[in-house]
Amino acid sequence: MDYIQGNPTRVPTRRAWVITIGWIWLAGSVLCWFAGGMAGQAWPYHTHSGPFLVFADGPVRDLDGLAQELVQLGERLQTELAIPLCIERIGLYLFHDRELYEQFLLQSVPHLTQRDVNRQGLFFLHGKTPVIVALVGADLRRTLRHEFVHAVLNPSCPQLPLWLDEGLAMYYEVPEGHGWQERLAESLERQARQGWEPNLSRLERLTRMQQMGVQEYAEAWSWTFLLLRGGPEYRTCLQSYLADLRRNSPARPLSERWLKSGQSPEQSWWAFYGWTPTRRASRWESWRQWWIR
């Protein structure tokens, strides 16, 4: 999810009588937590783990293990992206109940649509405090890794373009650490059979989440994978781009910087993945085996 402002207003409730009681009970609602209040008590389950202040509609298994994994992911981001991160406090709202989850999001973040809350997790900023909201389920680990990347990169790098924000989140969400996303690779193969070709500058022009469909997510991931796994020259290019973005100055798009290498971004993409416009994915399978071993 991209950079949005929100306000975790109150504990969502399912029934009218609970809502009635809730209005009284939650007089100091969870919002007060951000101001140092005691509102966490309003939640059925609340605790803290590492930098996370956790509010949930029930206990979550191995919460400390998840928190520790995210802290380690933060350290990895700092090393691999050469970007200093300030991870002080992150609000983590976890829901076993989808209805409560959607209600909480729609109350907390203005302008969210039903499509936005259909996903497994979401990140927003409350002032400068990152807030992650997620559904507890089989995908929780990936969801938290994905939203955590958004949550720590956006405050440090507010100019981060949408495609790279999502590309990095999808690369680092893979728990095994290799960044390979088989589902997205297959999606690109299918789209390529219908005429799709990579085009970085087209991706760079996208500024709204609504413009990001499956194809755009998959392509964003593929560019990010190339930048992080294609060799030191690509990673250095990414790091210097991020450094420029952090300076808040208008940074030249990555597609323009790429030309210094003597190749267009698309030529690099074709070469790295072993595709050609007429003979696609010739090496895709062997690369895939190598990446995920």
According to the binding rule CB under 5 A, does residue 112 interact with Zn ion?
Answer: no
Residue 156 or 268: which CB sits closer to Zn ion? Answer: 156
Residue 42 or 121: which CB sits closer to Zn ion? Answer: 121
Phi first, then psi: give them for residue 148, nearest 5 degrees.
-65, -40
Residue 19 or 209: which CB sits closer to Zn ion? Answer: 209
Per DSSP (E only), the strands in 136-275 are none
Residue 166 or 204: which CB sits closer to Zn ion? Answer: 166
Q: At what angle do helices 182-193 and 284-291 cross, to 10 degrees?
A: 170
Q: Which residue is nearest to Zn ion (CB)?
A: 169
- Contact letters for Zn ion, residues 1-20 (x by CB under 5 A): x-------------------
Nearest approach in angstroms of CB 171 to Zn ion is 11
Nearest approach in angstroms of CB 209 to Zn ion is 8
Nearest approach in angstroms of CB 169 to Zn ion is 4
Q: Which helix (H) or strand (E) holds 223?
A: helix 214-229
CB 253 within 8 A of CB 204: yes
- Contact letters for Zn ion, residues 151-170 (x by CB under 5 A): ---------------x--x-
Nearest approach in angstroms of CB 154 to Zn ion is 11
CA pair distance 52, 45, nearest whole angstrom = 14
Nearest approach in angstroms of CB 124 to Zn ion is 12
Nearest approach in angstroms of CB 173 to Zn ion is 8
Nearest approach in angstroms of CB 188 to Zn ion is 18
Nearest approach in angstroms of CB 116 to Zn ion is 11
- Contact letters for Zn ion, residues 166-205 (x by CB under 5 A): x--x------------------------------------
Residue 108 or 120: which CB sits closer to Zn ion? Answer: 120
Residue 147 or 204: which CB sits closer to Zn ion? Answer: 147
Question: Nearest 5 degrees, angle CA 228-CA 229-CA 234?
Answer: 60
Contacts of 282 (CB under 8 A, 6+ apart): 274, 275, 276
CB 153 within 8 A of CB 78: no
CB 251 within 8 A of CB 159: yes
Quickly list DSSP for 59-103: --TTHHHHHHHHHHHHHHHHHHHT-------EEEEEES-HHHHHH
Residue 67 or 162: which CB sits closer to Zn ion? Answer: 162
Residue 112: both structure tokens together? 């969210």
Interface of this chain with Zn ion, residues 29 to 68, rule: CB under 5 A: none
With CB under 5 A as the rule, give the number of residues binding Zn ion.
Answer: 3
Q: At what angle do helices 182-193 and 214-229 cross, to 10 degrees?
A: 120
Phi first, then psi: give them for residue 72, nearest 5 degrees.
-65, -35
Q: Which residues pair with 46 in a beta bridge?
A: 55
Residue 142 or 288: which CB sits closer to Zn ion? Answer: 142
Please report, as ranges, the residues that interact with Zn ion according to CB under 5 A.
Answer: 1, 166, 169
